[in-house]
Structure 1
Amino acid sequence: MNKQALHFLYLLLLLPTGNSFARQMKPVVQQLSLKAVILLARENSTAALQAATLKENKYWQYKNFRSNYLPQLNLDGRLPDFTRDNVPVTQPDGTVQFRPVANDNSQLNLGISQQIGATGGQVFLNSNLLKFTDFDRKETRYSGNPLVLGFSQPLFAFNALSWDKKIEPLRYEESKKKYLEDLEEISRNATSMFFELLIAQINHEIAQKNKENNDMLYRIGEAKSSMGKLSRDELLQLKLAALNADKALAQSNLYVESAMLRLNYFIGDKENTAIELLLPDELAVFDIDIKTAIREARNNKYQTVEFRRTLLEARKEVARAQGENGLNANLFATFGLSNRATDIPGIYRDPVDQQSLRIGFQIPIVDWGRSAARIKTAEANKKLTEYSVALQETNFDQEIYTQVRQFSMIREQMQGNILADQTAQERYGIAKQRYLLGDLSITDLNIALQEKDQAKRDYVLALKNFWDAYFNIRILTLYDFEKGMKIGNDHLN
């Protein structure tokens, strides 16, 4: 090829295309890093709002449980309790006559009670006042108990209060750890969507450059063909490559729009603002010790608390079956003061003693083995739960080991992917120059192009795998190995 032809080809190479002009007119878009996307997702996503609401719900459930062990002050009554009616009255001769009555039976009770968690009983202190008014006879009388101290205690019964005191704090602790894990899962999901869009944008960028290159090569091919330097078959190959590049660019546009819509909705941007993602070149550098990972996972993961709670609940059901074996007894005792008077102050002058003692019981004579069957069923379920928890703990440790090994392997492979991407980019540049100089076939140029594109995709995919594995480790252990500390509510790299 003579110097004039080469000069003409390079002039064609420098000519701007319609697509490059369109890029210059591209509207300004918001640039987001991986960390920015994760922060937006943890603050604005529906998943984050659900996790926060669930955490709040569990908090109030725990507060409700705690209130069962605190004194309860209650005021109740009937003010007024008026009745006007005709009531039957039996006469001395056995006949019945209906007499009109109009009266009021008002009552007011004030009491404080305290549950006894250790025994399942209750102590209480009450005071009540009753007022009776007969409107027909215009009489008013008062009766009441200025002070009543009482005690109620089930005997040989299942004590739900004692078991709840062991289980409910674990349930609350479990919910707090679950919330932290939910946030890390949101981070992982945001990372996956980030790379889904990033890969789509990189594929679009590759398709855009490939279209420009193929359009340029086709124009150069036409110039070579007009000078008799290129066969008809090679020119048709260049034309077909340009047409395929157009199709690939249109398809990549669709992928970008879909991925951007999903990411925007996940991070709470309902307006679907155009965004451009920044490639996270800097990788987290830290070593993970298997023993440390397993130890921290057992200390921090909500499943560890869940295992303990599940075992306690199984033991609780055994205790329930044993306590509800048919034998039912209850001790009830009160001591107080009582009085009656024609006015309210009279109730509190010189009251008399009032005592009561009651032991109620129920003993089954024949239940045809029902109680024994319930106990055996509860014990069998307890054994099944123990075996299930033991298996889950083993699988839990194995999963941590696998994830740590996988993370280490992915991190080791990253350097190779980076080098492969750089090599493929450089090789394609050389191949393109050789083709322009007529020193390389169109087939070899296309091979170099495909290798360049695939190396770039492999590199970005390796980045995605790295960050997925990174957050998998955080989810499994709730531990930040970079900073050597447990993950807290507001902690994020």
Structure 2
Amino acid sequence: MKKHYLFCLLCAMLPLLSLRSVAQPAGRQLHLQEVIRLAQEQSAVAKQVQTSRETSYWQWRSYKSDYKPQLSLEGVLPDFSRSILPVTQPDGTLEFRPVSNNNAELGLTLSQAIGPTGGSIFVTSLMQRFDDFDRNQTRYNGNPAIIGLKQPLFAYNNLAWAQKIEPLKYAESQRKYLEEREKIAVEATKLYFDLLLAQVNQDIAAKNLANNDTLYQIAQEKYSLGRLSKNDLLQLRLAVLNSDLALAQATLDAQTASLALKTYVGMEDSTQLQLNVPQVIPATTVAAKVALEEAHKNRKESINFQRRLLEAESQVAKAKGDNGLNANLYATFGLTNRGANWTDIYSRPDNQQGVRLGFSMPVLDWGRQRSISKVAELNQQLVQYTLSQEEANFEQQVLTQVNQYNTLKSRIKTTSEADDIAQQRYEIAKNTFVIGRISITDLNIALAEKDQARRAYIAALSEYWTAHYNLRQLTLYDFEKQRPLVNPSDGE
């Protein structure tokens, strides 16, 4: 009678024993969006992405400065010399005499590039001082002002092509920054669900250990009463041992996944993380046509394709410009003078003009010019074919991701319902086993289905949210708010 009373008491305490055994230590509660925000703000990858963006900005500033006036100061201060040199005498003979002098030069130049022609105009002011220490003489020579033009003719115009290509590079870098941020979101999502699944497995293992331990205690009483076979008792004992091993492995997996997430996100504290299962799923259904349109408008690929075509076209122009008739025009007009004092240079200076036209043209090159041009043209065709294939692959990737997103979204509801049913079925099977109406085999089947359903639900959430941020990365579009993604520094 006493054993029967103890058996009934254990049955009544079964839910309490299970709850007490699976209590989890408190930790920092985090949800998915918070982890993504931390990763995009403080992770090592985020800092690399931000640095790349700043590098692109300063490269853009450097390009812009090429088209603005440039002011430079050049000089030689001093150029002193003391030596013995041959000096021609009035009668034609040579005498070696000591010579001690100093030459000093200073020039200020303001230049401006001419983008459409590839040339430049400049204004220069030069001053030269000569000191003869042997004769105690000082002379000045200079150009108060010189206006000049440097203009290549028929040559490749690097400035004009840069005006077409560099703005595309900068715009491409801005979109690449957004894409890299979304890549961080995708990776953070994967690590988040790796840890969440590990914690769910740890929770499952802890509950299974508690339940199996309680069932084993009840089974011992049933066995002593002759209501359970030795085989079933041993099977329950084996289930306890396996549950204990599973809990140890699940705990190790959770620790490993937690360390991986913390390392990626940039969390240096030792606080234990407790992740929340995302409950709210966006109600948006993505249309393939809209996703494709937004991808073409927002992604860097559209700019990248245009830039690469222009670069290939510029290489053709360079091949033709560098291998044909090349000529350079150099013209100056200014004032010049000399004197014993530097002020004499600015007193009634004389005019100074200069024009020089140089050219080069291959006469016999054994087909070298034609070969270089042909290679550049074929490379241009290859880029066109390559970009055509890449564009088709990109569109296919977007459409595939849209289909995957919509499919995974509908799967969540099914796996959630299956999880609830499997949990309820196991509780019923457990209670039915206690009263001896089902076998241990049926109980184990219900246990396995419960665990499998729970893991399937978490896996469905992981696949959905990964697809969600993959789609954002592929389109740079927020389908929840129905607007393109913007740089954080630009505001929402």
Q: In which range does the TM-score fall when normalised by the shorter chain?
A: over 0.9
Distance 1:181 1:12, change over 3 A: same
How far apart are 1:273 and its partner, in Å? 2.7
Does the 8 Å contact 2:17/2:214 carry over to 1? Answer: no
Aligned mates of 1:72, 1:14 — CA distance in 2: 83
The answer to whether the 8 A contact 2:472-2:478 is kept is yes
For the residues of structure 1 that align with 2:257 and 2:459, how far apart are their CA atoms? Answer: 15
**Displacement of 1:395 after TM fit?**
1.0
Q: Which residue of 1 aligns with 2:9?
A: 8
Residue 346 of structure 1 deviates from its aligned partner by: 1.1
Unmatched 5+ residue regions in structure 2? none
Identity %, equivalent residues: 48
Given the superposition, is the C-alpha separation of residues 424 and 15 from structure 1 closer, same or farther in structure 2, using an over 3 Å criterion? Answer: closer
Shift of 1:119: 0.5
Relative to 1, partners in 2 of residues 1:92 and 1:140: Cα closer, same or farther, differing over 3 Å?
closer
Q: Provide the rounded CA distance (Å) in 2 between the counterparts of 1:273 and 1:8.
A: 40
Taking a change above 3 Å as real, the CA distance of residues 367 and 74 of structure 1, as seen in their structure-2 partners, is same
AA of the residue aligned to 1:32:
L
Answer yes or no: is the 8 Å Cα contact 2:219–2:233 preserved in 1: yes
Separation in 2 of the partners of 1:4 and 1:323? 103
Structure 2 counterpart SS, 1:463: helix
| Other structure's SS at 2:238 match | helix
Decide whether the 8 Å contact of 1:192 with 1:468 is kept in 2.
yes
Q: Tell me by how many angstroms 1:96 deviates.
A: 3.9
Per the alignment, residue 480 of structure 1 pairs with: 478
- After TM superposition, the structure 1 = structure 2 runs for residues 33-182 of structure 1, keeping only pairs within 5 Å, are 33-91=31-89, 96-182=94-180
Alpha-carbon distance in 2 for matches of 1:475, 1:22 = 39
Instruction: Tell me how far apart the structure 2 counterparts of residues 11 and 289 of structure 1 sit (CA, whole Å).
Output: 54
SS of residue in 1 equivalent to 2:179: helix
> How large is the Cα RMSD of the aligned pairs?
1.9
Pairing partner for 1:459 from 457, 480, 487: 457
Classify 1:348/1:428 alpha carbon distance in 2 versus 1 (closer, same or farther; 3 Å).
same
Q: Work out the CA distance in 1 between the residues paired with 2:115 and 2:16.
A: 86
Q: Displacement of 1:6 after TM fit?
A: 5.1
Gap regions ≥5 residues in structure 1 = none
Q: 2:255 aligns with which of 245, 254, 257?
A: 257
Letter in 2 for 1:184: E
* Distance in 1 of aligned mates of 2:285 and 2:491: 18
SS of 1:269's partner is coil
**What is the CA distance between 1:325 and its match in structure 2?**
1.2
Shift in CA distance, 367/474, structure 1 to aligned 2, threshold 3 Å: same
Give, in angstroms, the shift of residue 223 of structure 1. Answer: 0.8
2:363 partner SS = coil
Partner of 1:198 in structure 2?
Answer: 196
* SS across alignment from 2:357: strand
Separation in 2, partners of 1:78, 1:46: 48
1:239 paired with 2:237, answer yes
CA contact (8 A) 1:286 1:481 kept: yes
Offset at residue 255 of structure 1 (A): 0.3
**Amino acid in structure 2 at the alignment position of 1:13:** L
**Counterpart secondary structure, 1:288:** coil
Q: Secondary structure at the residue paired with 2:248?
A: helix
CA distance in 1, matches of 2:22, 2:199: 16
- TM-score, normalised with respect to structure 1: 0.96
Aligned partner of residue 358 in structure 2, secondary structure: strand
The CA deviation at 1:7 is 1.9
> Offset at 1:83?
1.4
Q: TM-score if structure 2 supplies the norm length?
A: 0.96
Give me the whole-angstrom Cα distance separating, in 2, the residues matched to 1:14 and 1:71: 83
Rate the CA distance shift 1:479–1:15 in 2: closer, same or farther, 3 A: closer
User: Of 281, 284, 291, which aligns to 1:283?
Assistant: 281
Q: Please state how far the C-alpha of 1:482 moved relative to its aligned partner.
A: 0.9
Query: Within 5 A, what are the aligned runs for 1:247-396?
Result: 247-396=245-394
1:85 CA drift (Å): 1.5
Structure 1: distance between partners of 2:171 and 2:163: 13
State the Cα deviation string for residues 423-453 of structure 1 (Å, max 9, x = none): 0011011101100111110000000000000
